[in-house]
Amino acid sequence: MRILYIANIRLPTEKAHGVQIMKTCEAFARLGHDVELVVSDRRTHITDEPFAYYGVANIFRITRIRVFDTVYLGRLGFLFESFVFARRAAKYLQSARFDILYGRDESVLYLLSKKGLGPVVWETHTGAKNVYALRLAGVAYAIVAITKGLKDFYVALGALPEKIIVAPDGVSLEDFAHPESKEAARARLGLPPDKNIAMYIGRLDGWKGSDTFLQASEHVPDDILFVVIGGEPQQIAALSEVYPKVRFLGYRPYKELPDNQQAADVLVLPNTGRDPIATGFTSPLKLFSYMASGVPMVVSDLPSIREIVNEEHAYFFRPDDAGNLASVIQEALSGGEARATRAAAEVRKYSWENRARTIANALK
């Protein structure tokens, strides 16, 4: 197939959707499909070119659509930028050759679907229920839902179940094949060699549950060090004052992820149970990378997480319960190697190429 992936994003971006989009395009291309990724030309502080930044093979094309970068103005600025992007993308698509128009942004996809340019495939991640999402669910050729929870959500809203493909996110197994040693990772990151380290990698806001992880640092003995990779400088400055037992390392480049994970004795995925995205809709990239690491995991006991792992692979804690999280971290430190080994074996079926194959086969 000729797949044109439309994404109104800045590229590269430190946010997880950039990884997911680039890996998806690479996986389709590895299966022999002709892939073009169309993005905005919004500015980014990252100077690396996208293929090098994400460690992705240069086997598909990236086209940039010129826009007015008004996103910094807030919601109205973003809506204006999205409208301009959709209009200019529609003009570009009139001369582009493709069999499938693929994307995640329901507003842009719906506006483009009205142009009758070709079949539209919408990959949904958040359970959006705005006017664009509801209309797109009706007119899309197919919907790719990253969890069963998302499929059930849209079926309940009237979407046809037979056109919804469930395809969880994935992982590039080759990226995790030869990580550096724990000793080397800790030396590079400036972490002590003699502490038990519980690590969280990700953003410090929204439904990620990072607040629960930080609070759990107050409930463990001094031989356990909590480490965070991620967060904005202003967040880190403020949180460092509140949580002195946590070591904040800030943002680290994506290509370091396999090595950075090796510095941990336990990796923590603390998603909140207070947000429907976290409970039923998300398929966290960090879950799959944690699984591939061979390091024991402690994860929130949520339906979205249990779609992928169970007690054979991970330790579960009660979402939003910092005391319980602290207790389960200590349990995992006492002998989580067997579960980590089983998780590393289980994640092999979640390669990006397997995911792309599932989607492509359903679209034939």
- Whether 198 has a pLDDT exceeding 90, the answer reads yes
Q: Does 178 score more than 90 pLDDT?
A: yes
pLDDT at 37 over 90: yes
In this predicted structure, the answer to whether residue 104 has a pLDDT above a threshold of 90 is: yes
**How many Å apart are CA 249 and CA 174, to the nearest integer?**
25
Given pLDDT bands bounded at 50, 70 and 90, which one contains residue 364?
A: confident
Q: Which CATH superfamily is domain 2-166 in?
A: Glycogen Phosphorylase B; (3.40.50.2000)
pLDDT at 25: 98
Which amino acid belongs to residue 354? N
Give which of 332, 81, 44 is closest to 216, Cα–Cα: 332
Asked if residue 318 lies in contact with residue 133, where contact means CB atoms within 8 angstroms, the answer is: no
Q: pLDDT at position 154, please? A: 97
Rounded to an integer, the average pLDDT of 138-166 is: 97
CA distances from 97 to 59, 202, 233, 293, 321 (A): 17, 37, 43, 40, 52
329: amino acid identity, one letter: I
- pLDDT value of position 110: 95
Residue extent(s) of CATH 3.40.50.2000 domains in the chain: 2-166, 173-349
Task: Note the pLDDT of residue 3.
Answer: 98
pLDDT mean over 58-78? 93
Average pLDDT over residues 322-341: 97
Helix and strand numbers (H, E) in the chain are 16, 13
- Does the structure show a pLDDT above 90 at 90? yes
Mean pLDDT of 161-171: 97
Say what percent of the chain tops pLDDT 70.
Answer: 100
- What pLDDT score does 168 carry? 98
The answer to whether residue 339 scores a pLDDT higher than 90 is yes
3-state helix, strand, coil in the chain (%, to 5): 45, 20, 35
Res 45 pLDDT > 90:
no
Q: What percent of the chain has pLDDT over 90?
A: 94
Mean pLDDT to the nearest integer, 291-306: 98
CATH topology of domain 173-349: Rossmann fold (3.40.50)
Q: In what order do the strands lie in the sheet with 315-317?
A: 246-250, 224-229, 196-201, 266-269, 297-300, 315-317
Q: What is the pLDDT of residues 246-264, one digit of tens each?
A: 999 999 999 999 999 999 9
Helices 16-30 and 352-363: crossing angle in degrees, nearest 10, is 70
Residue 206 pLDDT greater than 90, yes or no: no
Measured between alpha carbons, how far apart are the two ends of the chain, in Å? 9
